[in-house]
Amino acid sequence: MEATVMHFRQGRHHQNTNQMILKVADSTEEAEKVIGKEVVWTSPSGKEIVGKISALHGRNGNVRAIFAEKGLPGQSLGTKILIK
């Protein structure tokens, strides 16, 4: 299954680079099925960054993914990410 990297999770003053917002589905019910699964983003050079889907984000099928070791780079915005 694939998702699209939409944005960094951010507040008014800070941007959390290790938390990303992913567009998984069109409804909340479909997005709830992927909570707890692993996500893998592959860079253009072939390096893989692994994270985990932690929670829903809103009511439009978005979820929050947390990447433990380091966050995703800015070039990942708008790209596809693999859900295992």
pLDDT at position 70 over 90 = no
Q: Give the pLDDT confidence score for residue 4 in this predicted structure.
A: 96
Q: Give the pLDDT confidence score for residue 16 in this predicted structure.
A: 87
| Cβ atoms < 10 Å from Cβ of 65 | 27
pLDDT at position 54 over 90 = yes
Burial class from Cβ neighbours inside 10 Å (0-12, 13-18, 19+) for residue 44 reads exposed
Question: Which tens digit of pLDDT belongs to each residue from 26-52?
Answer: 999 999 999 999 999 999 999 999 999
Domain ranges of the chain: 2-83
Name the fold adopted by 2-83: Thrombin, subunit H (2.40.10)
Q: Give the pLDDT confidence score for residue 69 in this predicted structure.
A: 81
